[in-house]
Chain A
């Protein structure tokens, strides 16, 4: 892409959509326990909101909201958080990713610990997927620039 679209229709539609898609993406990740969705869809929606910003806003505004150099870090942070959540139970003798191994550390019933661990895992998945989507778009769009 040689730069953001100069068309007013694209500008208006994207500017209207970005905040709603952003909040909906975070909502889908956080409500994965109760409604369809979870980490993958929420992460992609978050990434799509940032990509829409790059469609219509000029370079400085789009980069100020989410710099392109953060995309790789976000994706890797997601993977690392996931692996970290998996390794901590091993320190208490449980298997990898066995959330019951958090029981000595956190004073909650086992079902609630698994609930919170699922939330953290979905958040990590969301980060990983969002970072990858933004990275892919930036790499494809900078080709001719």
Chain B
């Protein structure tokens, strides 16, 4: 019953991607990218993944937009025209080949919500059934992220902090250099 909504959202997603690429003014481009994130978050919410949708709203439609705008203030909001155009005939066949490969691969993944798929039969039923008595936490997603799979969460936090530190080291001006 929800597939028409998903279909409309995906069509809107593709249109937003095209629009974001063709905008001359980069401020408009950033706003359309933020709209793209909102549409993606709605798709996630339609799948029932509310935590992921929340993260996508806050990170994709929130902080990414802010950081892009902060960057646009010194990069300038006008996109310079591209200098050469003759790589298009090399890129399009490769993109078409990649698209065909992805479409062929998508026929092999299990149906959406299939209870017999490998993702739903290995440890997921265990986690869902035992998380409340093991951890007193009604939210299964938090229990899996912070207890059963907390090593992955540690890796994620380390990656985020490392990326921030790398940006700081690259972008921060030193007083003696400039």
Residues of A within 8 A of B (CB): 1-2, 32-41, 44-45, 47-48, 51, 72, 75-76, 78-79, 82-83, 86, 96-97, 99, 110-112, 114-115, 117-118, 121-122, 124-125, 128-129, 131-133, 135-137, 139-144
Does B141 contact A121, Cβ atoms closer than 8 Å? no
Please name all residues of chain B whose beta carbon is closer than 8 Å to the beta carbon of A82 when the two chains form the complex.
153-154, 157
Whole-angstrom CA separation of A114 from B170 in the bound complex? 39
From the candidates A38, A83, A129, name the one contacting B141 in the complex (CB within 8 A): A38
Minimal beta-carbon separation of B53 from chain A (angstroms): 8
Q: A48-B63, A132-B161 are in contact. List 4 more A-B contacts (CB 8 A).
A: A1-B73, A117-B147, A125-B153, A143-B74
Which 5 pairs show the lowest CB-CB distances between chains A and B? A132-B164, A115-B136, A140-B70, A118-B146, A114-B135
Residues of the B chain whose Cβ atoms lie less than 8 Å from the Cβ of A122: 142, 146
B10 to chain A, nearest CB (A): 23
Asked if B87 lies at the interface with its beta carbon under 8 angstroms from chain A, I say no
B34 at interface by CB-CB < 8 Å: no
- For B53, what are the chain A residues with a Cβ–Cβ distance below 8 Å? 36
**Partner-contacting stretch, out of B16-24, B54-62, B96-104, B116-124:** B54-62
Is A144 a contact of B74 with CB atoms below 8 Å? yes
A140 to B170, CA, bound (A): 11
List, in ascending order, chain A residues with CB within 8 A of B171's CB. Answer: 139-140, 143
Bound-state CA distance A72–B164 (Å) is 9
Quick one: given A38-B146, A118-B142, A137-B70, are A44 and B168 in contact (CB under 8 Å)? no
Q: Mark B115-154, 1 if CB is under 8 A from A, else 0.
A: 0000000000000000001111111011101110011011
The residue of chain A having its C-beta at the shortest distance from the C-beta of B51 within the complex is A36
Of chain B, the residue at the smallest CB distance from A119 is B146
- Shortest beta-carbon distance from B64 to chain A in Å: 10
In the complex, whether B11 has a CB less than 8 A from a CB of chain A is no
| Cβ of B92 under 8 Å from chain A | no
Chain B residues contacting A144 (CB-CB under 8 Å) are: 73-74
Interface of A is mostly: helix
The interface residues of chain A lying within 8 Å CB-to-CB of B143 are: 118
Is B158 part of the contact surface with A, judged by Cβ < 8 Å? yes
Q: Are B135 and A118 in contact (CB under 8 A)?
A: yes
Question: Which A-chain residue is minimally distant from B70 (CB atoms)?
Answer: A140
| Chain A residues, CB < 8 A from B71 | 140
- A72 and B168 contact, CB distance less than 8 A: yes
| B142, A38: Cβ atoms closer than 8 Å | yes
Q: Please measure, in the bound complex, the distance between the C-alpha atom of A44 and the C-alpha atom of B88, giving whole angstroms.
A: 39
**Contact status A45-B147, CB under 8 Å:** no
Whether the Cβ atoms of A115 and B154 lie closer than 8 Å is no
Instruction: Supply 27 A–B pairs (Cβ within 8 Å), ascending by A.
Output: A1-B73, A2-B73, A32-B139, A36-B51, A41-B59, A44-B62, A72-B168, A75-B161, A75-B164, A79-B157, A97-B154, A99-B147, A111-B134, A112-B136, A115-B135, A115-B136, A117-B146, A121-B150, A128-B157, A128-B160, A131-B161, A132-B160, A132-B164, A133-B63, A140-B70, A141-B73, A143-B171
